[in-house]
Amino acid sequence: MIHNVHRKKKTKKPNQKYTEADIEKAFEAIENGMSQRKAARQ
């Protein structure tokens, strides 16, 4: 009989600190129709 091992997924931590200005730009981009993923990459 085969035993499957279940491992916890590690959460990704951001490598950089986001400034208030970066967050505001991302929110504005999302409001203008950009996807959340694209706004996060900017």
In degrees to the nearest 10, what's the CA dihedral of 15, 20, 26, 28?
180
In this structure, are residues 28 and 42 in contact, taking their beta carbons and an 8 Å threshold? no
pLDDT average, residue stretch 2-11: 81
Full 3-state SS string of 1-42:
CCCCCCCCCCCCCCCCCCCHHHHHHHHHHHHCCCCHHHHHHC
Query: Is the full-model pTM beyond 0.85?
Result: no
Say whether pLDDT at 13 is over 90. no
Domain boundaries of the chain, sorted by first residue:
17-42
Q: Which pLDDT band, with edges at 50, 70 and 90, does 10 fall under?
A: confident
pLDDT average, residue stretch 30-42: 89
Q: Which pLDDT band, with edges at 50, 70 and 90, does 40 fall under?
A: confident
Q: Supply 24's token pair.
A: 């505001």
Cα distance between residue 19 and residue 41, in whole Å:
14
pLDDT average, residue stretch 12-37: 87
Say whether pLDDT at 34 is over 90. yes
